[in-house]
Structure 1
Amino acid sequence: MSPQYPHDQPPAAGELKEVAPGVFWLRMPLPFQLDHINLWLLRDGDGWTIIDTGFPDDGVRATWSAIIERLDGPVRRLIVTHFHPDHLGLATWLMEKTGATLLMTTGEFLTAHVVWNEVGGHGARFMVEQFRQHGLDAERLAKFEKRGSGYRKAVPALPEYYQRIKAGDVVTVNGLNWQIIIGHGHAPEHMSLYCPELGVLVSGDMLLPRISTNVSVFAATPDADALGWYLESLDELTGNIPEKTLVLPSHGLPFFGIGARVEALHAHHEDRLRALESSCEQAPQSAADLLETLFQRALDTHQTMFAMGEAIAHLNYLEQAGRLSRSTDADGVIRYTRSPKAAH
């Protein structure tokens, strides 16, 4: 069964659409191929709670200013699902504008700071070396070196204090309890929020209706099984969230059919894993060699960053499952070969 979409169109620019009692949908533009993000406003007594912020540019700030002026009460809390710029980018600005308290997980708050400051194995120089080890050519590596920290350019300022949210917590909004569900693989400690009384899951980037969320391996954790973590997180969602739940994703349209969507994502990733195995059958392959296997389209520098992280995640999964063997060749490049013991 395919996902069912109760709303066939997003709200108009700068408008709020009520999708459940006291839950409002706002869409903001993004300057990427993925050209939008969904944000959510929750009525909270005589005030409001905002979930995620949008990407920091003047147009988004102007839209937020107009919306905040129209709201019938103060914004008291800002909940950020994870550290990526389209979710956290305007947090400092919104906090200063509204006086709202920021709620985040520790993993996302601290990751934002280490990525922004390029320390602890995070940042452009670490990523360039990681991609070099995985076979990316000098021309594309030079573009990443020239580009520098895309995160710092996309997030002009970071909050310096927050209220910590952790797995199993409950956040009460407007007298209703929202259960905190932590997912892994897309970000270190991604927060989704589930309200049983409303039958609503704010899934963030962990569960999207039409595209598969990016799952990458960071240079700081080169052997991480990010894809395995992501698939386990999806299974935890379906194990705890009823099928009739309305899923509110960060990209795409709200939908019903969480089980079918998770099943489709499992099938998609297994298809990609098998394609990688086949490509490694005849000769050892690096992650860079396998980009065309995973992505049958031209990739710009921004897309190549996500594609390399995703390729490494799939290869780590296969190697740790015994389906591929890994070696480092004389040129210092990591390559993968179909394991003789791998299941066919």
Structure 2
Amino acid sequence: MNHTVQRIHQVRLPLPMRLNHVNSYLIEDEEGWSVIDPGLATEDTMTVWADVMKRYRLTFGDIRRIIVTHYHPDHYGLAGSFQQWSGAAVYSSRETFEWADRTYHSESIRKTAQFSRKCGVPASLVAEMSGHIEELFTWVKPVGGDKVILEPEAEIQLGQWRFQVKLGSGHAEGSIGFLHQASRMFIGGDLLLEKITPNITYDYSTDTDPLKDYFDTLNMLRTLHIQSVLPGHGPLFQLSDSFIDRVIEHHLERLQEIRSMWRHSNTREFTPYEISTRLFPKVVDSASLSFALGETVAHLRYLQNRNELVIIERDDALFCRYNSI
């Protein structure tokens, strides 16, 4: 482990979901402390933070900067409270602030439910999914104070070291990571995860192609020759030469699974939900179903944009038809 990593403190924060933790990072410099991804605004998270601050003899007045790698609630949720208690500015990408503003409100929950129904999710499951999202949103505290935009390729001082800001997409628009060029160490949020692949999701609310965006991000990260990763979930890991290839191959295999559904069935059309249940047969809880459906639709979007798949809207429902059939 290099000297830089030893001076960065990983804080493992609990999550009330299947993915049971998120990593925050504390970095000290001469003027105070920076906090990266303070976690979800739950009582369990605050209990951990109370213990951590006692261990390092910190008060909120010692925090001079709050950094959020992306707008997802497990990373962004407590940023507004940390800002209120510390008076520190929140740093992130422009897209992160924009997506947080457009996501965390009741209209967003309504639109998500409408999309799930169009995808063919049964009404009872849609209601459960909406209830889970509504609860999740109560654990997100809006950022109302000073915001600092981190521009791609800009440099930022974290502790004693200069890091370069890297911008990625696919998992979350405007995700940021920080590269320490001398050690090739990367504080990456959810851009690179060792044991799981970041959820790539889509809901037709934008004219984007998240899976392509994530492939582009991975290929950009490949050029950085990263050696060690401080991820948003899981322990620090060393990035092997084949790691990015394996992640890309995982998604290519999933695309092939979708193609094979038509080759091994007489059905001409599937709803996105039907495809999701075949791709993720072990997903039964409503919280995980939201992730599974979004990931499925992101892969359908990728095939649609390459003219392999047609999405048909009929009777306020979406149906998928494979072009080669």
With normalisation by structure 2, the TM-score equals 0.90
Per-residue CA distance 1:13-58 (angstroms, 9 max, x = gap): xxxxx87142121111111111111111112225221111012222
* Residues 37 and 67 in structure 2, CA contact (< 8 A), matched pair in contact too: yes
* Residues 89 and 147 in structure 2, CA contact (< 8 A), matched pair in contact too: yes
Q: Which one is further off, 50-59 or 200-209?
A: 50-59
Among 15, 18, 27, the residue aligned to 1:30: 15
Distance 1:230 1:106, change over 3 A: same
* Residues 71 and 97 in structure 2, CA contact (< 8 A), matched pair in contact too: yes
* Residues 224 and 313 in structure 1, CA contact (< 8 A), matched pair in contact too: no
Cα distance, 1:247 vs structure 2: 0.6
Paired-residue identity, %: 26
Question: What's the secondary structure of 1:168's corresponding residue?
Answer: coil
* Residues 288 and 308 in structure 1, CA contact (< 8 A), matched pair in contact too: yes
Q: Calculate the aligned-residue CA RMSD, in Å.
A: 2.2
Distance 1:93 1:105, change over 3 A: same
What is aligned with 1:139? 124
Query: In structure 1, how many angstroms separate the alpha carbons of the residues matched to 2:90 and 2:130?
Result: 33
1:231 aligns with 2:215: yes
Say how many residue pairs are matched. 319
Query: In structure 2, how many angstroms separate the alpha carbons of the residues matched to 1:118 and 1:197?
Result: 45
- Could you tell me which runs of 5 or more consecutive residues in structure 1 were left unpaired when the two chains were aligned: 1-5, 7-17
1:205 aligns with 2:190: yes
Q: Which one is further off, 44-53 or 140-149?
A: 140-149
Query: In structure 1, how many angstroms separate the alpha carbons of the residues matched to 2:282 and 2:30?
Result: 48
Distance 1:189 1:289, change over 3 A: same
What is aligned with 2:271? 286
Per-residue CA distance 1:141-163 (angstroms, 9 max, x = gap): 23345556344212144334311
Partner amino acid, structure 1, of 2:71: F
Moved over 6 A (4+): none
What is aligned with 1:63? 48
Among 234, 250, 255, the residue aligned to 2:232: 250
* Residues 21 and 198 in structure 1, CA contact (< 8 A), matched pair in contact too: no
Among 228, 235, 257, the residue aligned to 1:275: 257
Query: In structure 1, how many angstroms separate the alpha carbons of the residues matched to 2:186 and 2:131?
Result: 40
What is aligned with 1:95? 83
Per-residue CA distance 1:54-82 (angstroms, 9 max, x = gap): 12222321322332344367221111101
Cα distance, 1:275 vs structure 2: 0.5
Cα distance, 1:86 vs structure 2: 1.3
Question: What's the secondary structure of 1:251's corresponding residue?
Answer: coil
Q: Which one is further off, 72-81 or 175-184?
A: 72-81
Question: What's the secondary structure of 1:149's corresponding residue?
Answer: helix
Question: What's the secondary structure of 1:299's corresponding residue?
Answer: coil
Larger helix percent:
2
* Residues 83 and 145 in structure 2, CA contact (< 8 A), matched pair in contact too: no
- Could you tell me which runs of 5 or more consecutive residues in structure 2 were left unpaired when the two chains were aligned: none
Per-residue CA distance 1:78-129 (angstroms, 9 max, x = gap): 111011111111112222333322111111112112211345xxx1111111
1:111 aligns with 2:99: yes
Query: In structure 2, how many angstroms separate the alpha carbons of the residues matched to 1:140 and 1:130?
Result: 13
1:299 aligns with 2:284: yes
Query: In structure 2, how many angstroms separate the alpha carbons of the residues matched to 1:82 and 1:43?
Result: 22
* Residues 92 and 157 in structure 1, CA contact (< 8 A), matched pair in contact too: yes
Distance 1:136 1:85, change over 3 A: same
Query: In structure 2, how many angstroms separate the alpha carbons of the residues matched to 1:137 and 1:259?
Result: 43
Per-residue CA distance 1:164-221 (angstroms, 9 max, x = gap): 1121211112342111111111111111111112331011111100111111113522
* Residues 69 and 175 in structure 2, CA contact (< 8 A), matched pair in contact too: yes
Query: In structure 2, how many angstroms separate the alpha carbons of the residues matched to 1:337 and 1:55?
Result: 39
* Residues 248 and 255 in structure 1, CA contact (< 8 A), matched pair in contact too: yes
* Residues 81 and 141 in structure 2, CA contact (< 8 A), matched pair in contact too: no
Among 242, 247, 261, the residue aligned to 1:260: 242
Cα distance, 1:130 vs structure 2: 1.3
1:41 aligns with 2:29: no
Partner amino acid, structure 1, of 2:74: D
Question: What's the secondary structure of 2:33's corresponding residue?
Answer: strand
Query: In structure 2, how many angstroms separate the alpha carbons of the residues matched to 1:258 and 1:203?
Result: 15
